[in-house]
């Protein structure tokens, strides 16, 4: 009681695997996670789910486009994530800042109204990379770093609403 389980089934994008392999492995992983949560009688309405998106491996010669990532990710979630789960806070998992935002935005534009869960972000790298680069450890760059963080946070907040341009 009084605990919010953070459930983070992440299939890494490190490697040369195709989006098909990522989809297959993610679906198996998410299914097993929810099977185990059910066995442990975890209240699904009280968890924070932090899954990966369905993407091509970083070293794959064929990188899936934004629409395919959005469609595959939603299909995988529909096949595995119970409607009791309140939302999915995606990991950026090594995606570029722009791709992580664009993928989330496309999911919310195309599928958001038809899903039982809210789709949002729990990005580390995709929020911090630009501000850290702008700062570069120099105190005189602090305001530039803050502006970069605000820009990334605003972009991802808009993507959660399907309003990122």
What is d(CA 21, CA 12) in angstroms, rounded to the nearest whole number? 11
24, 32, 39, 50: the active-site residue:
50
Tokens 């529909």 correspond to: 78
3-state secondary structure of 100: helix
What is d(CA 44, CA 27) in angstroms, rounded to the nearest whole number? 18
Consecutive H or E run containing 132: helix 125-135
What is d(CA 164, CA 152) in angstroms, rounded to the nearest whole number? 11
For 72-98, give one letter per residue: b (16+ CB within 10 A) or e. bbbebbeebbeeebebbbbbbbbbebe
8, 24, 68, 151: the active-site residue:
8
Catalytic residue at 78? Answer: no
Catalytic residue at 8? Answer: yes
Catalytic residues: 8, 50
């Amino acid at each position: 009681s009084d605990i919010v389980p953070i459930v983070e089934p992440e299939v890494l994008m490190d490697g040369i695997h195709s989006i098909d392999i990522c989809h297959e492995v993610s679906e198996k992983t998410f299914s097993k996670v929810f099977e185990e949560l059910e066995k442990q009688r975890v209240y699904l309405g009280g968890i924070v789910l932090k899954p990966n998106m369905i993407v091509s491996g970083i070293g794959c010669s064929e990188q899936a486009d934004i629409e395919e990532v959005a469609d595959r990710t939603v299909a995988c979630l529909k096949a595995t994530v119970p409607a009791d789960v309140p939302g999915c806070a995606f990991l950026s998992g090594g995606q570029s800042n722009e791709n992580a935002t664009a993928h989330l935005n496309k999911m919310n534009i195309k599928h958001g109204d038809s899903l039982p869960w809210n789709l949002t972000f729990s990005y580390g790298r995709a929020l911090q990379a630009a501000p850290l680069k702008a700062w570069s450890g120099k105190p005189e760059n602090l305001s530039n770093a803050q502006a970069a963080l605000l820009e990334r946070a605003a972009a991802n907040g808009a993507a959660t609403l399907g309003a990122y341009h």
